[in-house]
Amino acid sequence: MIKTKAQYEARAQIAKALAHPTRLLLLDALADKDLCVCEMTELVGADQSTVSKHLAILKETGILQMEKQGAMNVYSLRCQCLEQFFGCIESVLRQKVQAQQELVEI
C-alpha cells in the first residue's frame, strides 16, 4: 500500500509535468492532432523558447514523443491515459463547486 520515497517522487514528477496551464493546453491540442513547435507557439501565444521548454518537460516525462520532419519537430502524445487523468481533475473540480454551493445555501 504505502510505497517508497523514491516511488512517490517518481509519481510526483509526472504529476508536476501535468501541473501547468500551458502544458495542459498543449496536451489538449495534441489530443486532436500532432503539431510542430511553431504551430503550438502560435496557439499558446508565448515565446517560442517558452513553448519549447514546456514540450521538453512533457517529452522528458514520457508523455510526449517527438519526430523530426525536415526542419520541423513534430510532437505527439505518447500515452493514451490522459483521459483518466483529466477525468479525475474534472471530478475534483465539480466536487469543489458543489462544496462551495453548499456553503452558500446554508
Partner DNA sequence: CTCAAGTATGGCGATATGGCCATCTAGAAA
Partner DNA sequence: TTTCTAGATGGCCATATCGCCATACTTGAG
- Contact mark string toward DNA, 47..86, x via CB under 7 A: xxxx-xxxxxx--------x-x-xxxxx------------
Nearest to 41 by CA among 28, 31, 55: 55
User: Is 15 among the residues that bind a second copy (CB under 8 A)?
Assistant: yes
User: Is 53 among the residues that bind a second copy (CB under 8 A)?
Assistant: no
In this chain, which stretch among 3-11, 34-42, 46-54, 68-76 interacts with a second copy, using CB under 8 A? 3-11
Sign of torsion over alpha carbons 27, 73, 80, 56: negative
Q: Any residues with CB less than 8 A from the CB of 87 and at least 6 apart, and which?
A: none
Nearest to 64 by CA among 72, 74, 2: 74
Place of cell 511553431: 38
List residues binding a second copy (CB under 8 A). 1-3, 5, 8-12, 14-16, 18-25, 28-29, 31-32, 43, 61-63, 78-79, 81-82, 84-93, 95-96, 99
